[in-house]
Structure 1
Amino acid sequence: MSDWLHSFYADVDAQQTERVLDRFTPDGELVFGSNPPAIGRAAMREVLENLRAALSGMRHEWCNRWTVDERTLVLEARVHYTTRGGTEVVLPCATVIDRDASGLITSLRIHIDSAPLFTALDAESVTAQPEPVSSDKAAG
Structure 2
Amino acid sequence: MNHELTGMFESVDRMSVEGFLSYLTDDVVFRFGNSPEVVGKEGVRAAIESFFTQIASLEHILQGVWSEANTTIMRFDTYYTQHDGTIINVPCCVVVHFNASRLINDYRIHIDISPLFSSASAGNVIQASA
Shift of 1:2: 1.7
Tell me how far apart the structure 1 counterparts of residues 21 and 35 of structure 2 sit (CA, whole Å).
18
Corresponding position of 1:30: 30
Q: Which residue of 1 aligns with 2:96?
A: 97
The residue number in structure 2 matching 1:63 is: 63
Q: What TM-score, normalized to structure 1?
A: 0.82
Q: Distance in 2 between matches of 1:90 and 1:47?
A: 21
Report the secondary structure of 1:55's partner residue: coil
Q: Distance in 2 between matches of 1:33 and 1:40?
A: 17
Alignment match, 1:107: 106
Percent identity of the aligned residues?
A: 30
Per the TM alignment, residue 118 of structure 1 is displaced from its structure 2 partner at its CA by 2.1
User: Of Structure 1 and Structure 2, which has the larger fraction of its residues in helix?
Assistant: 1
Q: C-alpha offsets along residues 31-78 of structure 1, whole Å, 9 cap, x if unaligned?
A: 100000111111101111011111111000111100122x10000011
**Which residue of structure 1 aligns with residue 125 of structure 2?**
none
Unaligned runs of 5+ in 1: 121-140
Q: Does 1:47 align with 2:47?
A: yes
Distance across 2 between alignment mates of 1:30 and 1:15? 17
- Give 1:83 deviation, angstroms: 1.1
SS of equivalent to 1:34: coil
- TM-score (norm: length of structure 2): 0.88
Contact kept, 8 Å, 2:4 with 2:23, in 1: the verdict is no
Root-mean-square deviation (Å): 1.0
State the match for 1:10 in structure 2. 10
Q: How many residues align?
A: 119
Aligned structure 1 segments of 4 or more residues deviating by more than 4 angstroms: none
Q: Which has the larger radius of gyration?
A: 1
